[in-house]
Amino acid sequence: MPLVIGTRGSALALAQAERVRRLLKSAGIETDLKVIATAGDEVTGVPLHEIGGQGVFVRALDDAILKNECDCAVHSMKDIPAVRPHGVSMAAVLARDSPSDFLATHAEAPKVIGSSSTRRRAQLLRHDPDCSVQSLRGNVDTRLRRLSEGRFDAIVLAEAGLERLNLRVEGRRLDPREFVPSTNQGTIAVVSRDDPRIVSLLAQALDDPTSRRDTLVERAVMEELGGGCFTPIGCWCADGHLVSEVLSLDGDRWVRKEAEIGGIDEARTFGRALRKEAAGLIREAFERLRLRDGG
């Protein structure tokens, strides 16, 4: 019986699911694909933090796994929340693609930039305090269309998403040492029902040990930092070298740490130290957004 893979219906999600299907087929594993709608796809007019953060893309697929509507699901790993429901396992982490952000633009010095990410907004304002960062959500095609319509001078996208869709877009990669990516950006993960047979099957065919190690280090740091999706936080580990930063919402202040990390315990120690140093920025971001939203 084929393994049933759940996925969102966006072009990027389907491209990622098809990559997993090809890898599984090469390992002799047959699959079927099941498209499942999520709240994040249906509500696009507001920033993600107002509808539950990145986790809105994952909940419907988790539910489908737990209801036996599919055996596993493919996600951009950065969308997967730290707290996972009982009965769901992260079976495989694929070899990481580019973790970098990409500035799609025709302009040498764009002034009106589209992004709804608080991290990207803060980093862009740090780089150029005179630019205007305006809210922009939607799938990759929607955001590129808004750019072509002249609503923005530039937009920011994950470079990995453009590569997976085979899109050639004018612009430039943003150096991840300056524009530190979000946790797990550029990584595809496969989650499954907590069934040893399915987990083992997926792990043997798909899992990349280096990418799993680096991305789990990043997740450990983020779990210690907390801060929620409203705090501008970058966290990137490459072959054990970890850099993470917490910024103010306006990008005028930040706390940054770097270290060579040997494992999860060291990552947690690193995260606790960064949280202590950046506690004021985390608290400030939460309070500003709470007051803005009338909380």
Of 221, 150, 204, the residue nearest 27 (C-alpha): 204
What are the boundaries of each domain within the chain? 3-95+187-207, 101-173, 219-292
DSSP structure class, residue 201 = H
* Chain position carrying tokens 């996972």: 84
CB 214 within 8 A of CB 158: no
Determine phi and psi for 172, rounding to 5 degrees.
Answer: -155, 150
pLDDT tens figures, 237-268: 999 999 999 999 999 999 999 999 999 999 99
* HSE toward the beta carbon, residue 77, CA cutoff 13 A: 29
Residue 223, pLDDT > 90, answer yes
CB 30 within 8 A of CB 159: no
Q: Which CATH number fits domain 3-95+187-207: 3.40.50.2000, 3.40.190.10, 3.40.1370.10, 3.80.30.20?
A: 3.40.190.10
The two tokens of residue 3 are: 């393994």
DSSP structure class, residue 57 = G
Give percent helix, percent strand, percent coil of the chain, each to the nearest 5.
40, 20, 35
Write down the pLDDT at residue 49: 44
Percent of the chain scoring above 90 in pLDDT: 84
Say if strands 171-173 and 188-193 run parallel, antiparallel, or are unpaired. unpaired
Catalytic site includes residue 97: no
pLDDT tens figures, 28-67: 999 999 999 865 554 444 444 444 445 667 999 999 999 9
Same topology, domains 3-95+187-207 and 101-173? Answer is yes
Give dist(CA 114, CA 138) in Å, integer.
11
CA angle 125, 128, 129 (to 5 degrees): 60
Which position among 32, 41, 71, 79 bears the catalytic label? 79
Identify the bridge partners of residue 133 per DSSP, sorted by sequence position: 113
CB 287 within 8 A of CB 281: no
Residue 279, pLDDT > 50, answer yes
Give dist(CA 97, CA 90) in Å, integer.
18
pTM for the whole structure: 0.89
CA angle 187, 190, 193 (to 5 degrees): 155
Q: What number of other Cβ atoms are within 10 A of residue 111's Cβ?
A: 12
Determine phi and psi for 7, rounding to 5 degrees.
Answer: -155, 155
- Average pLDDT along the chain: 92
Helix-then-strand count for the chain, H and E: 10, 13
Considering the domain 101-173 in this protein, what is its CATH number? Answer: 3.40.190.10
Is the CATH code 3.30.160.40 the one for domain 219-292?
A: yes
Torsion on CA atoms 292, 279, 59, 266, rounded to nearest 10: 170
H/E stretch holding 171: strand 171-173
Write down the pLDDT at residue 50: 47
pLDDT tens figures, 151-209: 999 999 999 999 999 999 999 999 999 999 999 999 999 999 999 999 999 999 999 99
